[in-house]
Structure 1
Amino acid sequence: MTGQTPPSYQPTSSRRELQELVQAQLETLLAQQNYEGAKALLVPVQPVDIAEVIGNLPEAMQAIAFRLLSKKEAIEVYEYLDSNVQQALLEEFKRQDVLDIVDRMSPDDRARLFDELPAKVVRQLLQQLTPAERDATALLLGYKPNTAGRIMTPEYLSLKENMTVAQALERIRSLADVSELIYYLYVTDDARRLSGTLSLRDLIKAQLEEFIGNIMTTDVVYVHTDTDQEEVARTIQRYDFVAVPVVDTEKRLVGIVTVDDVLDILEQETTEDIYALGGLESGADNYFQTNLFTVARRRVSWLLILLLTNTLTSAVIRNQEDVLEQVVTLAAFIPLLIDTGGNVGAQSSTVVIRGLNTQEIRMRETLSVIRKEAIAGALLGAMLGIVVTVWAFVLQGNLAVAIAVGISLFAISLIASLSGAALPFLFHSLKLDPALMSAPFITTAVDVLGVLIYLNVARWILRL
């Protein structure tokens, strides 16, 4: 390798700095067509980091860098690549190159890739897979998206109740290379129904002639093939599992969902919730690899709805023009009031939505949660109202206007907290996404009611 030293992975090194170093060196070597140097550079790098480095390279260099990897490395790295990069590489490779990689991927990762590809390409690839891999992939694709059946892997180790420990150990040795997980073992009866679990530690400690049925744990936590993937993630998180077994309607073991898949699910669900809170349509594509027209289309829907509903605020202001004409200084505080109300409502809704998603809050607790948020809103309104009353008087020198602003802010904070707490429960009960639906409705309620309250309070105090 000419003039380049492969970076070493020291525990004290920053992973991000190492990635940036590898990427800069790799890009330079590829530009110089020093492929041997580039290949040597990637030798000590972990597959997940190689995937990130390749994903950040210019498109023209991605396929070249990927081809420098050995077949074994390429299969492992490919599973970590962003779906858009995976698709771009598929188009670059010859058919046999594609099949070698896709055929040796784990079934759940392959199914995830196929979800991102056009149906025509998926059909072509399925036909070219080996019969065993085709059947395994078709099994997963047959389940609904975002369910345990779709994200599970059929590559697991199962034992029979009537096996001895010696037989079980021999089975593990023979199947370890084709199983995704061997630390936890699943026990089935003669009908393949899940009947127990067993850790590898307990198996090793047991006597060789002992039967598996005598040492297994019969209190099994499992999920069904149609269980929502978010519920699967919560189950693994709740019980600190490395994996959770998946059964069909007859309780036959059909696969497992591992913790690495759960981490991807949690990231995906969190991203969707954050997008929804911002009134955005969530998409599977990476934002930085999505064209601007698609980005705009995903954002415009709720903005148009908010634009139309905010005409109600304009209508309220028009109906109260006589108040504003007589005391022009009132208009200066309208943005302050509705913005503060919107922030208070957003805080309440964020707490409730997060609680519903993590199941820390149950529907039966609706009234107590709303009551608590209402009290919090009243306290916030009182504190903010006092501050803004003093500040308004300092700015305008009009005590009546300052008092009107303070009282209005108190009322708006209370209404915003009530709306922020109640609307997520309402939409959750209607089977709608609370994160997506709550924000625009809270904004509308606070804007319209806030202005209406403010101008009427001002009219009452100023006797206009």
Structure 2
Amino acid sequence: MTRSGVDLGVLSILPLRASALDSPEAIQEWLNSAGPAERSRQVGAMSKAQIARFVALLDATTGPELLGSIDVDLAARVIRSADLAQAGAFLGAMDSDESAEILRKLGEAKRTAVLAQVDPATAETLRNLLRYAPNSVAAHMLPELFTIDGALSAAAAEDAVREQANQMRGKIRAGGYIYVTDVDRQLIGVVGFRDLVLAEPDQPVHELIDDHPVSVRSSHDAENAAQLLVDHDLTALPVVDERGKLLGVLTADAAADILEREATEDAERQGGSAPLEVPYLRASPIRLWRKRIVWLLVLFVAEAYTGTVLRAFEDELEAVVALAFFIPLLIGTGGNTGTQITTTLVRAMATGQMRFRDLPRALLKEMSTGALVAVTMAAAAVVRAWTLGVGAQVTITVSVTVAAIVMWSALVATVLPPLLKKVRVDPAVVSAPMIATIVDGTGLLIYFLIAHLTLPQLAGL
């Protein structure tokens, strides 16, 4: 039992509600028991008054630990409920990249007030991070890192690293690397901790370094930088300015968060919705409406041309009523084919498996696959037409149209994502509903054009 009267022994089995805890000790026990997802779920379920009571019990240890483990949007809610001195102490004790992420979620007035409570050196570091565009790698970098002069001996370099660690109060998590710079902080190379420790004490550092380190400019896209870190199997990626001056590093943890967030946003866009930017269960109906309605209206307007196509060919439908039986099947097949391809390509592009220069190979691959799919689906269409007893001529029309629509859908779905990426538009906007909408109307045009070529009843129409 704690002073709060809460039996903490059950925490290892079933985490208690955070809102029920009423002592700093109980909160520490709760943090020891609940994982990041459980912490976010419980704190996110609190009312504003409950969060205020909970935050008042946080201390210099539990406050930063909580903020560093929950999602950024929720961490910002916690900071808003804290008094300014408390908020400043929490953010000042956290890693700079995490603190900057939280500060971006605050309004300008609140952000300025909180920064005034942080020690001047840390506050200046955070202000520098906040100056970068949110989607740039510099906005997510960790400025605290170890730097040494290449002319030092291994023993002297170790002493320099220890001194920097003491000055920065353990904030450095440079991923096992020490960065070698000149007097102007230009990046010269990288040396691993292990290499430095195992070196002879009098061995010069410049003999240990990798003098061709992978690095990125500060304005580089954060997602691309995170993927670069993964591709080169690094634990940290140096970030430099236009002159090669070392500014900080993108850590593996930050890269994982960026890629996870981007994957979530891509998945939401693929479903025909704008990214929620908050966990689903904390999204209000108004937010969900706002994120979905724009796309739905765009798709509604785009889909309207399908009706226009049908109206333009109403004479053909009256002449051969059986043509109408297959409209849902045809447009559904085209949409489904395109959705499969765009989902695969968008993910391949997001993970760096495919770039614009690979478009010819992808097009050849998908058109070849499309041909196989087209033959299979055409055979299935023959069977379906036969079961409806529509006659040989309509059966031929439908089967040929299915094959043509599959090939057309494969072409559109393969070309669009890389083209959008090339013009700096997120290819994830080519959502499943969007592809279906594009293929619906064009598929109907293909259908009726083929019908004119194969059905004598439509001659002259």
Q: TM-score scaled by structure 2?
A: 0.89
Are residue 205 (structure 1) and residue 198 (structure 2) matched? yes
Say whether 1:26 aligns with 2:17: yes
Looking at structure 2, the residues matched to 135 and 34 of structure 1 have their Cα atoms a distance apart, in angstroms, of 35
User: Is contact 1:161–1:211 with CA below 8 Å preserved after alignment?
Assistant: yes
> Cα 1:359–1:47, aligned 2, differ >3 Å: closer, same or farther?
closer
- Report the equivalent of 1:161: 150
- Tell me which residue corresponds to 1:118: 107
Q: Distance in 2 between matches of 1:327 and 1:70?
A: 78
| Structure 2 letter corresponding to 1:55 | V
Q: Equivalents in 1 of 2:41, 2:319: separation in Å?
A: 64
Q: How does 1:52-131 map to 2 (within 5 A)?
A: 52-59=40-47, 60-131=49-120
* Equivalent residue in structure 1 for 2:274, among 260, 274, 281: 281
Q: Assess, with a 3 A threshold, how the Cα gap between structure 1 residues 295 and 130 changes in structure 2: closer, same or farther.
A: same
After superposition, what is the alpha-carbon deviation per residue over 1:334-356, rounded to whole angstroms, capped at 9, x for unaligned? 11110110010112222333333
Letter in 1 for 2:32: P
Q: What's the offset of the Cα at 1:141?
A: 1.3
Letter of the 1:461 counterpart: T
1:354 aligns with 2:357: no
Note if 1:51 corresponds to 2:39: yes
Secondary structure in 2 matching 1:446 = helix
Identity %: 30
The whole-number CA distance in structure 1 between the counterparts of 2:411 and 2:198 is 58
Aligned pair partner of 2:422 in 402, 408, 429: 429
Structure 2 residue aligned with 1:42, among 22, 30, 36?
Answer: 30
Unaligned stretches of 5+ residues in structure 2: none
| Deviation sequence 1:74-125 (CA, Å, 0-9, x none) | 2122122223322332232222222211222221111111111111111222
State the Cα deviation string for residues 243-264 of structure 1 (Å, max 9, x = none). Answer: 1111112212111110000011
1:241 maps to which of 227, 234, 237: 234
- The answer to whether the 8 A contact 1:345-1:442 is kept is yes
TM superposition shift of 1:456: 3.6
* CA spacing shift, 1:433–1:286, aligned 2, 3 Å: same
CA RMSD of aligned residues (A): 2.5
- How far the C-alpha of 1:68 sits from its partner, in A, is 4.2
Q: CA deviation at 1:67?
A: 4.3
In structure 2, the residue corresponding to 1:97 is in which secondary structure? helix
The counterpart of 1:386, out of the listed 368, 379, 387, is 379
Q: Unmatched 5+ residue regions in structure 1?
A: 10-17
Q: CA deviation at 1:175?
A: 3.3
- CA shift digits 1:441-461 (9 cap, x unpaired): 533331112112223433443
Q: Conserved in 1, the CA contact under 8 Å of 2:175 and 2:252? A: no
| Paired residue type of 2:36 | V
Name the count of aligned residue pairs. Answer: 449
* Secondary structure of 2:143 counterpart: coil
TM-score w.r.t. structure 1 length?
Answer: 0.89
- The answer to whether the 8 A contact 1:156-1:182 is kept is no
SS of corresponding position for 1:220: coil
8 Å contact from structure 1 (residues 420, 438) kept in 2: no
Note the C-alpha offset of 1:69. 4.4
The alpha-carbon deviation at position 407 of structure 1 amounts to: 1.4
Letter aligned with residue 174 of structure 1 = E
Correspondence 1:291-310 to 2 at 5 A: 291-310=284-303
**8 A contact 1:348–1:421 mirrored in 2:** yes
- Map of 1:4-15 to 2, 5 A cutoff? 4-6=7-9
1:445 paired residue among 428, 434, 438: 438
What secondary structure sits across from 2:438 in the alignment? helix
Distance in 1, matches of 2:163 and 2:41, equals 36
Which residue does 1:173 correspond to in 2?
Answer: 162
Aligned to 1:337: 330
Return the offset for 1:163. 1.7
Give 3-state SS (helix, strand or coil) of 1:244's partner. Answer: strand
